[in-house]
Structure formats: structure tokens, C-alpha cells
Amino acid sequence: MKFLSLEPFVPSGSNFEESKSFFQELGFQINWEVPGYVGFQRDECRFILQQLDNAEFAQNFMLSVKVTSAEGFRNGVLDKQLPQKYGIRIGEISRQPYGKEVNVIDIAGVCWHFVEQ
């Protein structure tokens, strides 16, 4: 028996529809949708967006996503003007012991670590 995947439930914040749109603009595709939940996927990365507005939980929740290029990811977010459009925050690229990283704070306050190894 082996584990096949990990798909965290990510809170949407107060605006579920806007959060859905944000992740679609990041390039995630909707695999399935039922009231209050959306299954997203981009390449091999999957997560479930949950209609949940709990700021304390969201601001203490972090995810790490491996990418082929931190710079390419960051430039894509900025080119699409997602910080202006959705009020998200994106950091500068930094070097960490585990690779080059750029952080995004999403609409709900979740911190996404996009890491190039």
C-alpha cells in the first residue's frame, strides 16, 4: 500500500467566487465542483478550495508548491496584475535552504510558498 496524493482543503476567505477566479488566473483548472467546494489542479498539484471564512485559520495556514522557476512564476503573477486585481501580496524571490522561493498571500490570507529547487 502506498500513499497516492495529498490534497489540502484551502479556505476561500469571505468571497468564494473571487477566490475561485484568482486560482483560475494562476492557471489551476477546475476538476470538479459542488456547493462550497472546488477541486483544482495544475499539472500534478491539486487542492480543494473550501468556502470557509476563518481569518485566524487562514493566516496560520501555509502550503509549499514546487515550481520549475520561481522567477517565471513571479513574473507571471505580476504580468497578469493579480496583486492589483485581487488584493493579494507577492514577495520578492529569496534563497532558502530548500531552494529559491516566492511567497503569495492569497485572498483569504493563506501563505503559499512557491519553491524552485
Q: Domain locations in the chain?
A: 9-116
Say whether pLDDT at 101 is over 90: yes
The answer for residues whose C-beta is within 8 angstroms of residue 32's C-beta and 6 or more apart is 38, 39
CB atoms within 10 A of CB 19: 24
* pLDDT at residue number 117: 82
CATH number listed for the domain at residues 9-116: 3.10.180.10
Per-residue pLDDT tens digits for 52-87: 999 999 999 999 999 999 999 999 999 999 999 999
Whole-model pTM over 0.85: yes
